[in-house]
Structure 1
Amino acid sequence: MGNVSPWCQFGCECLETPHHLFAKCRRFAETRIKSSQEVVDTTSMLLCEAKTTIRTTDVYLHSARRLFVDDASVWPLRETRYYLGTVPAIEPPDQITTVLATKIAHVWHVASIRLVG
């Protein structure tokens, strides 16, 4: 196994780690952007249907936009971990139903699984 390179096989000058492949690698940037937009659109639709406040909508949409990228305001460890099957915990400024929060978490989780696949 001494002939296996630790560098990204897509030409990046980075170690080929899961975090690099799923969050940083240029080869998959377009796919991450497309998936992110789908998550934002679906989350926005759910929030609109539930008639949430502007503050709650802003909090959820901020996290939805940053789901697939490193962001300390969304991810406690400052790096995205969507590829491990987790979604960020949200502290909404207003009361929302558990059903709505669960639907949003489900949308994010399924989108994460599809993106990793």
Structure 2
Amino acid sequence: MHLDLTPEALLTQLGYTKTEQTLNQINNIIANTKGFEKFSQHIPSFNDALAVEKGFIAMSNSKDHLKIKCDEDTGADNLSAFTALVKHWADKYKLELKQVANKNTYYIIGHN
């Protein structure tokens, strides 16, 4: 079954309140992410899987991309599992990610 995830639904799934600003931001992210429609329906379940390892998906404040982030106080075991989960998801959906230098944060650039 294929579900189209509306910008409003995505905001809700990621824990954001729908406002004009957040709606504009998510629409800019969608427009700026190559092939967004090819993997967008998997974002909510991936966000749930990340939560187990103290990770989450959020809108970037500085770039028009979603980011995958891990809490700063995460232990080594969780960090290792978080990194493996991110790599697996990116490989599975053929995504280009860009890691922020010296951080456990990845920007979702788009579909390869």
TM range (shorter): 0.3 to 0.5
More strand by proportion, 1 or 2? Answer: 2
Q: What is the TM-score when the length of structure 2 is the normalising length?
A: 0.36
Larger Rg: 1
Q: What is the TM-score when the length of structure 1 is the normalising length?
A: 0.35
More helix by proportion, 1 or 2? Answer: 1
